[in-house]
A and B are shown apart, each in its own frame.
Chain A
């Protein structure tokens, strides 16, 4: 398989059509894992899978069952319907099950499928959140750091502890936003390790160069329907973006409180200074070579 291409899971209960689809994708350079049923998709999925191609009707369910199963564990995974059924004849999907669709009836359907899957694998996205323009460069910059090593550092733990007492808030954290989730390298006041990116506020914070404040999460239309934030008792949020020397956004230093809360200009400036401290520490790790992967 090509080093640049992710693995594709191909789901089709019909041996003949599945084999033809697998062959087309393999010829294009993809490693393909064939599945005959919805039930077998779970075991075929892992972090290497970048796209799932499914037919609409399967022996034990339909293509949207596949989408639900896949996105429950891998919310950002691209899903493509490749089927002989017309759109009007497809099963009804949930409103959050937006997928790509290539009808098997068009001329050169396998070529079109390969084009759509290749696009999905090389920069197209079905993510349920906004992405920075320079996402690829940003992720490459983030990959320069060893997140596990950073998580073991006392420096950030001391800093987040100081932030909670300074602002009199419930939780403070340093979070790095990777391709699919936010990873908390330090977290005071809660035991959070990771959060799916579509459930994070920081995914929006890395898009802005100012301190981002959400005084009441439940009143902000971007976050009011995110159940995970409610489950974690995140009612108010303030976050300052952290960047590397080249301006790539790596994550954010954040204040969380279980009640709605505003932040004065002075408090926002203080949070910015805490974030500056984290940036300096990260730059130092890079220079010393101890934060490098």
Chain B
């Protein structure tokens, strides 16, 4: 592949980013943030979604709603919710709790390897959201270890990572520390039904609030 690969974001007001880029998507836990995260995963690459607040079934339906193609060869989900998605087969891994960071990490790596083994050496990862992982953790250090491990894998494997967090749910210093391994921060908000974004940390990206075109 993979040297020189860039990830593109059709229909979004973002320029392409280098392979190995990790983005932290910060905004309130609203449909807009989830929609933007899922739209950032669109493309022909492998897709891994870690869902911590809604079932795998709902996340996959939302992915289809934004134009994603559910292809079991390249799309995989790690669910850390209490909802039962066992009937979806190996396509979905269930961990059972956002607090089981070790289990989430292993299931994520396992699914990554399965997608990679099918020839997808560019993989987009979406984590929606880090907030339950932090809320379930009395000690923030295991979350740092988890985030460092996942972002390191994405960086060294030339992947793309998009992790969402609701900054209003956490101490500001915690969010600042969690943001450290990410290459850029994408702030997202909804204004009168329109999703807007702005980027800090990467050149040639919109650093002022910019409207995201609605889905057709």
Contact = CB atoms under 8 A, between A and B. Distances in A.
B46 to A, nearest CB: 14
B141 interface: yes
A93 B117 CA distance: 26
Contact of A131 (B114, B156, B181): B181
A95 B102 contact: yes
B172 to A, nearest CB: 10
Interface stretch (B5-13, B29-37, B50-58, B145-153): B145-153
In the A-B complex, list the 4 residue pairs whose CB atoms are closest, starting with the nearest. Answer: A124-B152, A225-B139, A130-B180, A119-B156
Interface residues of B, number: 40
A107 interface: yes
B206 interface: no
Contacts of B142: 95-96, 98, 128
Nearest to B154: A124
B89 to A, nearest CB: 12
Contact of A90 (B106, B140, B149, B180): B106
Interface string B202-214: 0000000000000
14 contacts: A95-B102, A96-B141, A98-B146, A101-B106, A101-B110, A102-B113, A115-B156, A123-B156, A127-B144, A130-B177, A133-B180, A198-B141, A207-B176, A220-B171
> What secondary structure prevails in chain B residues at the interface with A?
helix
B110 A119 contact: no
Interface string B64-105: 000000000000000000000000000001000001111101
B116 A112 contact: yes
Contacts of B144: 127-130
Given A94-B102, A101-B106, A129-B144, 18 more contacts: A87-B93, A93-B102, A96-B139, A98-B145, A98-B146, A99-B102, A101-B110, A102-B113, A106-B113, A124-B152, A125-B149, A128-B148, A130-B180, A132-B180, A133-B180, A204-B173, A220-B171, A225-B141
Interface of A: 64, 81, 86-88, 90, 92-103, 106-108, 112, 115-116, 119-120, 123-133, 198, 204, 207, 220-222, 225-226
B102 A102 contact: no
A81 B107 CA distance: 12
A97 B103 CA distance: 9
Contacts, number: 128
Nearest to A108: B117
A221 B140 contact: yes
Contacts of B139: 96, 225-226
A93 B142 CA distance: 12
Nearest to A88: B93
A107 B117 contact: yes
Nearest to B201: A133
A106 B178 CA distance: 32
B216 interface: no
Interface of B: 93, 99-103, 105-107, 109-110, 113-114, 116-117, 137-142, 144-146, 148-149, 152-153, 155-157, 170-171, 173-174, 176-178, 180-181
B155 A124 contact: yes
A123 B170 CA distance: 28
B137 A125 contact: no
A113 B152 CA distance: 15
B147 to A, nearest CB: 9
B103 A221 contact: no
Nearest to B146: A98
Contacts of A101: 105-106, 109-110, 113
Contacts of B107: 87
B173 A98 contact: no
A98 B140 contact: no
A93 B156 CA distance: 25
Contact of B140 (A86, A97, A133, A225): A225
A273 B152 CA distance: 37
A94 B137 CA distance: 12
A183 to B, nearest CB: 20
Nearest to A207: B180
A61 B158 CA distance: 35
B153 A86 contact: no
